[in-house]
Structure 1
Amino acid sequence: MTRPLITILDDEPDIRTMLADALEEAGFDTLSFGRASAFEAALATHTPAVCLVDLSLPDTDGLAVVHRLALEQGAIVIIISGRAQVQDRVTGLELGADDYIIKPFDPAEVVARIRARLRAGKPAPQSGNTAEFNGWTAHFERYMLEDAEGHETPFSHAEGEVLRLFLDAPKRLISRAQMQEHLGGAASESFDRAMDVRISRLRTKLREDPKNPQLIKTIYGAGYIFLGDVSWR
């Protein structure tokens, strides 16, 4: 069985070693990098399942790396950072990160978070990788939305998790608690804000009227409901 590849981008050698040892013992392969330039060059030949990204890097802003990964790669992105402020966590999640772990941390927590994310990212048994709904086609294998005329718009892994959750349960109420359970987040203000941002971005990409969306409806005080007719293949 192929071991999932986890990439570690952190400028502190001790942290890279600690994470690599814990992850490899847990059954993962790892590649470690101290600079963003080397990490991004490696993505040309490697496809990680999860990218661990520190925000304080010597050659670039870690948030910029997170944003590029979310837009261009299919990997799950988890920030590991000493920045503990709520706004830093919210910004990281808004830019497309799937999770945010604050330093110092226990390596066992990182392993557990990665496993939870990989479980959450797996397709539901009844689902394929392509869904058709209301003139749209969602290609989850390449993170692309295609309209009826064939024009394509990319979506991030984080946005794809939310979209798949809706498409797997059309015309059924999805509560915040269900979103938290399925997407592996911790109940918090930053998680709620991140979900709002991802749903807003999905509505924009689906060309919804923000004042009167027809596909992703907000049921105030209860959650969301997806009103499209969905066919998986």
Structure 2
Amino acid sequence: MRKILIVDDDQKTRELLKTYLEKNQYEVILSHDGESFLAALAAQADGLCLVILDVMLPDTDGFMLCRQVRQRSNVPIIMLTASSDETDRIVGLELGADDYIAKPYSPRELLARIKAILRRSAVEAPAARYYRFVGFTLDLTERKVLDSDGAQVALTGLDFQLLKYFVEHPGIVLDRGLLCEETRGRDVGPTDRSLDVQVSRLRLRLNDDGKQPALIKTVRGAGYVFSADVSVSSV
């Protein structure tokens, strides 16, 4: 799961962000001042996908922390500030921040900024091409899935997109709204069963028993989980 480190001296803000981002499948580590942030950064540096820095902190400021992060890592940085002064934004960007958000802001806006930064980072990094699971191989470049005999599995574009999201998040319970938003660009109402029909079709294509599925399991009241072990490679 993608891991984000947040430092903010306001407890309500920290808890709000943690709750919202965890619902969107991020692991969140919280710190309340510069000292606790640097300790968490040292302990978690290799596993972080992004850092969020509040500019105003009780024992230091976000600019100082931004400078220290950049001395250690290229992890993406978003800075938060209550100031409308353009100078703060420019200073943060010159110190190596990737984006800047002025308070007040909505968690949804922050999430959009996070996704945009991580998409850019993924483009810059060597991309994984193959996802392998229980004999199947999903090829991102050619957008196809092969079975253990090398035969192509017949999937629609939506089926492929759904399976892609599953294999990218194995072992994580994914709610129906998130799956629809990621694969179709929209949420669904509680009476809309189109996703459930699509999951059933995908199970059939993967020879996953609909009554007792082993790959795509239903988590009652929560969503679905892809339970297979997945290996990722570029070749």
Relative to the length of structure 2, the TM-score reads 0.51
What SS class does the counterpart of residue 42 from structure 2 fall into? coil
Contact kept, 8 Å, 1:70 with 1:77, in 2: the verdict is no
- C-alpha distance in 1, partners of 2:110/2:92? 17
What CA distance in whole angstroms lies between the structure 1 residues aligned with 2:44 and 2:90?
Answer: 29
Matched, 1:32 2:30: yes
RMSD: 1.8
Q: CA deviation at 1:126?
A: 7.1
1:186-208 Cα deviation digits (max 9, x unpaired):
xxxxxxxxxxxxxxxxxxxxxxx
The residue number in structure 1 matching 2:83 is 83
Indicate if the aligned counterparts of 2:33 and 2:58 stay in contact, CA closer than 8 A: yes
Match of 2:17 in 1: 19
Q: State the partner residue of 2:102.
A: 102
Distance 1:68 1:27 in 2: 28
Residue number in structure 2 paired with 1:4:
2
Q: Report deviation, 1:127.
A: 7.5
- Which residue does 2:118 correspond to in 1? 118
Per the alignment, residue 65 of structure 2 pairs with 65
Partner of 1:49: 49
- 8 Å CA contact retained: 2:31, 2:40: no
Deviations 1:37-67, CA, capped at 9 Å, x for gaps: 0110112221321110001000112101011
Letter in 1 for 2:37: F
Whole-Å Cα distance in 2 between the matches of residues 46 and 125 of structure 1? Answer: 20
- Mapped partners of 1:110, 1:50: distance in 2: 12
CA distance in 1, matches of 2:102, 2:68: 21
Q: Which has the higher contact order (CA 8 A, sep 6+)?
A: 1
What whole-Å deviation, never above 9, does each CA across 1:107-162 have from its counterpart, x for those lacking one?
A: 0111110011000011458789xxxxxxxxxxxxxxxxxxxxxxxxxxxxxxxxxx
Deviation at 1:71, TM superposition (A): 2.4
How high is the sequence identity, in percent, across the aligned residues?
A: 34
Gaps of at least 5 residues in structure 2 are 129-235
* 1:7 partner SS: strand
| Counterpart residue number, 1:220 | none
Seen in structure 2, the aligned counterparts of structure 1 residues 124 and 49 have a Cα distance that, compared at 3 Å, is closer
**Distance (Å, rounded) in 2 between the aligned partners of 1:16 and 1:125:** 30
Contact 2:50 2:76 in 1 (8 A): yes
Structure 2 match to 1:209: none
Distance 1:53 1:125 in 2: 23
1:72 deviation in Å? 1.4
TM-score by length of 1: 0.51
Residues 46, 85 of structure 1: CA spacing in aligned structure 2 closer, same or farther, 3 A cutoff? same
Answer with 1 or 2: which has the greater Rg.
Answer: 2
Secondary structure in structure 2 of the residue aligned to 1:46: helix
SS of alignment partner, residue 15 of structure 2? helix
Unaligned ranges ≥5, structure 1 = 129-233
Instruction: Map 1:210-221; keep pairs closer than 5 Å.
Output: none
Partners of 1:31 and 1:60 in 2: CA distance: 19
Decide whether aligned partners of structure 1 residues 91 and 27 sit closer, same or farther in structure 2, where only a CA change above 3 A counts. same
